[in-house]
């Protein structure tokens, strides 16, 4: 399996990516690709650093939960923690970075 297909698979089943053990070493071991190549090719294929890639998938997971009504019973802060962000600010900043608007504005647009 090559890195491009691995990235596609991880996007489809992103729960594995949200695991703390998901890093360049994990990718290297999983795909049997030397670590230096993984670092170079990952950025080439995704245009993102590994951290940004993980954060995009966390935001994507948040969107799924929002669409399922998570915020009807829980706070935005708890949503951020549920998808794996360590702080409300980090969740807020990443949501805006990748979605172009805050969680609150995103929810209000959907109504």
Each residue's pLDDT expressed in tens, for the chain with a length of 111 residues: 677 777 777 777 767 677 777 889 988 998 898 999 999 988 888 899 989 989 998 999 999 999 999 999 999 999 999 999 999 999 999 999 999 999 999 999 977
According to the model, what pLDDT value does residue 111 have?
Answer: 72
Number of neighbouring beta carbons within 10 Å of residue 62: 26
pTM here?
0.82
CA angle, 107 then 109 then 111, to 5°: 75
Continuous segment of H or E residues that includes residue 11: helix 3-12
Tokens standing for residue 52: 């940004």
Q: In sequence order, which residues have a C-beta less than 8 Å from that of residue 77 and are 6 or more positions away?
A: 88, 91
């Amino acid at each position: 399996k090559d890195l491009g297909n691995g990235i596609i698979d991880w996007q489809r089943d992103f729960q594995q990516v949200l695991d703390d053990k998901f890093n360049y070493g994990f990718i290297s071991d999983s795909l049997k690709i030397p670590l230096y190549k993984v670092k170079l090719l990952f950025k080439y294929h995704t245009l993102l650093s590994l951290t940004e890639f993980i954060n995009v998938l966390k935001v994507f997971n948040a969107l799924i939960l929002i669409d399922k009504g998570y915020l009807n019973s829980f706070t935005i802060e708890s949503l951020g923690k549920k998808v794996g962000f360590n702080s409300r600010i980090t969740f807020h900043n990443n949501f805006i970075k990748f979605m172009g608007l805050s969680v609150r504005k995103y929810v209000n647009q959907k109504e």
